Structure 1
Amino acid sequence: MQEIGKVIVGQKAMVERLVVGLLGNGHILIEGVPGLAKTLAIKTLASAMKARFQRIQFTPDLLPADLIGTQIYNQREGSFFIRKGPIFANFILADEINRAPAKVQSALLEAMQERQVTIGEETFKLDDPFIVLATQNPIEQEGTYPLPEAQVDRFMLKIKITYPLRDEEQRIMKQNVTDVDYAVQPVISIGEIINARKLVREVYVDEKIEKYILDIVFATRTPKDFGLEKLSDLISYGASPRASIYLALAAKSLAFIKRRGYVIPEDVRAICMDVLRHRIAVTYEAEAEELTSEYIIQEILNKLEVP
């Protein structure tokens, strides 16, 4: 993270969440306006571990073959050969994912879920680690295809990033108008990341913390059971069981980053918003009152007793 900090000014929360996703072997959805160093952050993370990086610009005319690859006929030899697509990399930046039609989104979903793709009659395993980092522009919605719930639920985290602070932007400006090279050096190998993931799985989670995680997730489904009757009319549907898994795993990853062998309630609370904000659907009533899933999560965290 220190190495990435040489290139990325500010956005510490985003960089930390990217590392959490990497350690938890989960995909990440990033929402923010253009120009906030999303692409640069992911590219820098890949460089810091000598991993393969591919950026795919999603557009309405994109085809599944442009993503995963296709069979090409060789006239000279009279046979087909397979040309692999950009999905064959460690880090995939799916830029403006909601601009691609459903066919392309489902091809990406198979890759995210199965960590393999099918081209013709052959199935190919994807690289390990394989992480999809998808971006969305929250402002410009014209000509977009909303992501289906099944696909959104596949993302371990949804990160919202905002503009840098004034002094951070001054540093960004200075970096980009000088000839100084701010390239990062590889500081960790892919093998070390895979080993770190095994260590993350061994981070201890007390039974009280497990109960706290389950209470948070169940409160999104049956808020009345937790004295949150006012939320019942605001929630269309709550978080899936995948939320419990990812919340525990993300908390473990965060504890590992903080150099702890055990999870504390603050780990769960710190990462909770990023794990749950895209898994709760609000009702029309909530939308009319301009209340978001983030409001619901915050109300749940405020109400539940911290172990």
Structure 2
Amino acid sequence: MRDQMNPVVDRILGNIDKVMTGKRNVAELSLIALLAGGHVLLEDVPGVGKTMMVRALAKSVSAKFRRIQFTPDLLPSDVTGVSIYNPKEMEFEFRPGPILGNIILADEINRTSPKTQSALLEGMEEHSVTVDGVTHILDKPFFVMATQNPIDYEGTYPLPEAQLDRFLLKMKMGYPAPNEEMEVLNRAQRSLPIEDLQPVVSLEELRGLQQSIKEVVVDESLKRYIVELSGRTRSHSSVYLGVSPRGSIALMKAAQAYAFIYGRDYVIPDDVQYLAPSVFAHRIILKSEARFEGITPEDIVNRVMARVPVPVQRLVK
């Protein structure tokens, strides 16, 4: 049985539920990444509600929403902004790009060139962009939800491993169940719920939540558990490239956010185990023979968790 959810978080998720039917788990994981200061990679086929999810999250937390539609001809300056000469003032003026917002939807990121992908991913890592030698600090909070079509779709550029590692977690939306899809049709027949959605949390409150996450206690035994899990992925016989130390940090931060969401100021092993597949799987590169056998990165994470003893920790209250 789960703990009592934080009332502010419950308010945000309840607001998103007004728009998204049957996607509570996806909304929860998205909020975990936002609160932990990370970013999300959302992979799925077109038309399942990826864009609507990000818009609903942005509206719920009073955030400045920006959308970047990635196409093969998109330039890095289309993302970061550009300096334009003003003859009246006789100086260059910076015209900010869409990356200068709070919540950024990077739509179909794998349809653009690696050079343009890097412009976004640099901002994600550094929380700043440099244009013509001038550094511009990005807004806080700064959260990117990048969507991509499955890599076997035509016209896609797979993200390199180093760039995948910058996403806190990766998830899929999935098709709705028949009864959920019926509810989607009923809502769409009346109006578009997203247009009437109102904020339930201010940006200042959101920043406060992000600060509170950092105070959630992670016992030393759980830190060792996370390190052991990531280490086992690196030494696994089916794995070419395992989870990096950045991935270990990501799992710890995600677990802190998850504990906070459910009203605890300490992390328990269940938090780590629940989030490990979403945080670790996209960081694992399998050997070719493992892929031919039908093994997935999620399989590796689950096998590793089955073999590493779960710590019996002292609950910190």
The TM-score normalised by the length of structure 2 is 0.90
Moved more, 42-51 or 188-197: 188-197
1:115 match: 127
2:197 aligned with 1:184, yes or no? Answer: yes
CA contact under 8 A between 2:110 and 2:158: conserved in structure 1?
yes
Unaligned runs of 5+ in 2: 1-12, 312-317
**Mapped partners of 2:118, 2:197: distance in 1:** 34
1:88 match: 100
Aligned to 2:149, which of 137, 140, 143? Answer: 137
Report the alpha carbon displacement of residue 140 of structure 1 after superposing the two structures with TM: 4.5
2:19 aligned with 1:15, yes or no? Answer: no
1:247 match: 251
Q: Which amino acid aligns with 1:24?
A: A
Deviations 1:79-105 (A, max 9, x none): 322111111100111111111112111
CA contact under 8 A between 1:33 and 1:139: conserved in structure 2?
no
2:271 match: 267
1:197 match: 210
Aligned to 2:55, which of 38, 43, 55? Answer: 43
2:140 match: 128
Report the alpha carbon displacement of residue 143 of structure 1 after superposing the two structures with TM: 2.1
The TM-score normalised by the length of structure 1 is 0.93
**Mapped partners of 1:178, 1:185: distance in 2:** 18
**Mapped partners of 2:75, 2:192: distance in 1:** 40
Deviations 1:18-64 (A, max 9, x none): 10011100011001111111111111111111110111111110001
**Mapped partners of 1:190, 1:179: distance in 2:** 27
2:288 aligned with 1:279, yes or no? Answer: no
Deviations 1:149-201 (A, max 9, x none): 11111111111221111111111111001147563221111111111112111
**Mapped partners of 2:304, 2:18: distance in 1:** 37
1:50-65 aligned within 5 A: 50-65=62-77
1:97 match: 109
**Mapped partners of 1:210, 1:82: distance in 2:** 44
Helix, strand or coil for the counterpart of 1:177?
helix
**Mapped partners of 1:300, 1:160: distance in 2:** 22
**Mapped partners of 1:119, 1:280: distance in 2:** 33
**Mapped partners of 1:204, 1:142: distance in 2:** 45
Report the alpha carbon displacement of residue 240 of structure 1 after superposing the two structures with TM: 0.3
Helix, strand or coil for the counterpart of 1:86?
coil
Q: Which amino acid aligns with 1:210?
A: K
1:79 match: 91
Q: Which amino acid aligns with 1:184?
A: L
Deviations 1:94-128 (A, max 9, x none): 11111111211121122111111111121110000
Are the structure 2 counterparts of residues 162 and 186 from structure 1 closer, same or farther at C-alpha, using a change threshold of 3 Å? same
**Mapped partners of 1:118, 1:43: distance in 2:** 27
Report the alpha carbon displacement of residue 305 of structure 1 after superposing the two structures with TM: 2.0
Q: Which amino acid aligns with 1:291?
A: I
**Mapped partners of 2:89, 2:228: distance in 1:** 62
**Mapped partners of 1:192, 1:8: distance in 2:** 23
2:296 match: 292
How many residue pairs align between the two structures? 298
Q: Which amino acid aligns with 1:298?
A: N
**Mapped partners of 1:27, 1:284: distance in 2:** 28
Unaligned runs of 5+ in 1: 224-231
Helix, strand or coil for the counterpart of 1:278?
helix
**Mapped partners of 2:191, 2:247: distance in 1:** 45
1:226 match: none
2:177 aligned with 1:165, yes or no? Answer: yes
